Chains A and B, each alone.
Chain A
Amino acid sequence: MAKGERKAGAVPPAPADGAVDRIPGGDAPAGGFVQLLTPDGEHLGSVTTADGTTYSVDFTVEEYQGLYRDLVTVRRLDAEATALQRQGELGIWASLLGQEAAQVGSGRALRPQDMAFPTYREHGVLYCRGIDPIMPFGLFRGVDQGGWDANEHKFNGYTIVIGSQTLHATGYAMGVTMDGKTGSPDGEAVIAYFGDGATSQGEVNESFVWSGVFNAPIVFFCQNNQYAISEPLERQTRIPLYRRAAGYGFPGVRIDGNDVLASYAVTRQALDNARNGQGPTLIEAYTYRMGAHTSSDDPTRYRIASEVESWKAKDPIARVKAFLTKQKMADADFFAEVDESARKLALDLRERVLAMPDPQPVTMFDHVYPNGSPEIEAQRTAFAEYHASFEGSGH
């Protein structure tokens, strides 16, 4: 397909000022977005945006199948976690249901050397980083606070205070430049994940300022799932989020966040630009949170069932399945096998989560300071002695 030929998913000129550019009911936004795979499973080949950038993917059959497997697996693991929460085994769970394509597409676009800074919902990205999916469960079960090795996995800890991680990602990216690891195709890049609500935070805006000023090798990946708990997008912005990037001096692209191919292609391009020394990009993945904000939320108070229904028709997994089927890249056996292996992984996860023991209370004094502290040691000793005095009384 020639450059600029297909207009279907391309980003047209910006809409008039003042429009939040969101059609209630979840229709495609008036501003358009980069889409490579339609909800019907039609592969658009490539897409060229208004600025002349062309996005495409050309995967092997195995790679397409692999993406499908990822999507199904992360959805299945997420469903298992939701079930575990309902059974009282997790204190809370932030589900990624509906956001699989945004996460798997961007997650698979990362190279091993790239560093990711997630929020609390990026279980799909975590999975794509090759990290044991058990990792976030300590936090949600309440036995620890996350606690994996961010440097080893190139995946920072989950961040709960909205927006804070975007500044950390920016600083990390500045460090990449200072280490001379940009300016080549093998350079390093950084990706920061956050939600539509987060874009209101001062810190997120500061991270845009800093990244622009220091030309940091960073991709800002905003999953616009339309809500910040109960508040719709209109409560955070009056222009489409991707357009904010222009004000900070770097490109912004909106993608169909339910399209794993668009998510992959645009993120890969943006990461490559970053590692080549071309600085930041803001990607707005236009998607939808199908479930509650977290297991403590009641979405019936603020959104209508028909909206959820209309987004079901854009399901990120169904369209890949339709594509694979139409192209005869996969058959019923393949789909059954993927479901089965995802089910096995989920059951394994369930068993391991149930087996996660409560921590020994005295361990709460661990890791307060890298080199310890005499005062904390004294408190630990007093605590242990106090508890020993209750021995046998169930304390």
Chain B
Amino acid sequence: MAEKITLGKALNHGLRRALENDPKVVIMGEDVGKLGGVFRITDGLQKDFGEDRVIDTPLAEAGIVGTAVGLAIRGYRPVCEIQFDGFVFPAYNQIVAQVAKMFYRSKGKVRVPMVIRIPYGGGIGAVEHHSESPEAYFAHTPGLKVVSCSNPSDAYTMIQQAIASDDPVVFFEPKRRYWEKGEVDLDAPVSGAYPLHAARVARPGTDATLLAYGPMVRVALDAASAAGEDGRNLEVIDLRTLSPVDYPMIFESVRRTGRAVVVHEAPGNGGLGAELAARITEECFYSLEAPVLRVTGYDIPYPAARVEEEYLPDLDRLLDAVDRSFGW
């Protein structure tokens, strides 16, 4: 039965289903219990599954992720909530030095099937450390799967797939889209669902390819609609998986359209857009009508809330880049 629900609610339903289907799934994090998380993503779960399955942890991110590693080795499937993007760094050592390498260093003997959920990105008028996009740090680390959902339907299935995956998954949730609604089929079986490790064409087109993920997919779709009024038919690809990236789908699209523009909120320097541009250039050089362009946050710390709208890539900046691509 399809229902129109918010992205936040879709995650809540997905987590609930994972808890129901597998007694080894546990949720852990700060304020995830009684409060239901600061964004209420875990709302009601502790009430229904108990304090052993939905665990309010001490206020320590290294502790949350580090103990999750032990739980995973012991056969559990922990789902860690990091309260905000900027607070993942106390756990960074555990994630990049331990979580990512357990399988490799044990020659495949030790698995740590865990999910690290991170509400990320800007646009909610918050103070420092509450609006960051740290995905590149994790995508740069082999051994981690890094994904980001952009709509309620994907949120619902992707969170369940991430939990079911034997890989450790860093799961980026676009916090400013938590309140956006969309159709979700809550009865659809996860097995047979669109795979976690695949990108998706969010809007087919023929003239240029916009590559986006997480909070920027909405902006890319809006840009494609606006460009459509000018007679330009843009394709929008929602990456969904940031590591590994689904390159075959991207290359196919860019070879067809001849133009690519990547957009993300994170600073451009060393960002995912740089990697995408390099790979597309390597693989699609003879099909390109213009260089791969990037629209990103600036190379500055995330600025004060009152100017964040100027920092965040928006419709105008994206359309401007599309114009530049066509003007080549």
Contact = CB atoms under 8 A, between A and B. Distances in A.
A115 B305 CA distance: 29
Interface stretch (B82-90, B95-103, B184-192, B236-244): B82-90
Contacts of A160: 86, 127-130
Interface residues of A, number: 48
B38 A203 contact: no
Contact of B60 (A200, A230, A365): A200
Contact of A200 (B59, B298, B306, B310): B59
Contacts of A201: 59-60, 90
A359 B60 CA distance: 34
Contacts of B129: 160-161
Contacts of A297: 38
B90 A140 contact: no
A301 B128 contact: no
Interface string B47-70: 000000000111110110000000
Interface stretch (B4-12, B27-35, B247-255): B27-35
Interface stretch (A22-30, A339-347, A375-383): A375-383
Interface string A159-173: 011110000000000
Given A229-B38, A364-B303, A379-B299, A92 B89 contact: no
B306 A359 contact: yes
B307 A364 contact: yes
A323 B57 CA distance: 42
Interface string A81-95: 000000000011000
Interface stretch (A12-20, A141-149, A250-258, A274-282): A141-149
A192 interface: no
Interface string A188-199: 000000000110
Nearest to B37: A230
A376 B304 contact: no
Nearest to B300: A368
B197 to A, nearest CB: 32
Interface in A28-77: none
Interface in B270-328: 298-301, 303-307, 310-311, 316-317, 320
A381 to B, nearest CB: 12
A166 B38 CA distance: 25
Given A161-B86, A361-B310, A365-B298, A228 B128 contact: no
Contacts of B130: 160
Contacts of B320: 386
A340 B139 CA distance: 58
Given A161-B86, A230-B56, A301-B34, A202 B303 contact: no
Nearest to B269: A375
A368 B269 CA distance: 14
Nearest to A143: B306
Contacts of A301: 34-36
Contact of B56 (A144, A235, A358, A387): A235
A200 B56 CA distance: 13
A77 to B, nearest CB: 19
B36 A235 contact: no
Nearest to A144: B304
B38 A145 contact: no
Contacts of B35: 229-230, 298, 301-302
Interface in A183-235: 197-198, 200-203, 228-231, 235
A368 B301 CA distance: 7
Interface string A345-381: 0000000000000110101110010000001100100
A359 B167 CA distance: 44
A306 interface: no
A60 B128 CA distance: 43
A364 B298 contact: yes
B38 A228 contact: no
B142 interface: no
B123 to A, nearest CB: 12
A325 B63 CA distance: 50
B127 A200 contact: no
Nearest to A147: B304
Interface of A: 91-92, 120, 138-146, 160-163, 197-198, 200-203, 228-231, 235-236, 296-298, 301-302, 358-359, 361, 363-365, 368, 375-376, 379, 383, 386-387, 390, 395
12 contacts: A91-B125, A139-B128, A141-B306, A146-B128, A160-B129, A162-B87, A203-B90, A235-B59, A236-B59, A361-B307, A363-B307, A386-B317
Listed from nearest, the 4 A-B pairs whose CB atoms lie closest are: A142-B305, A230-B35, A200-B58, A197-B59
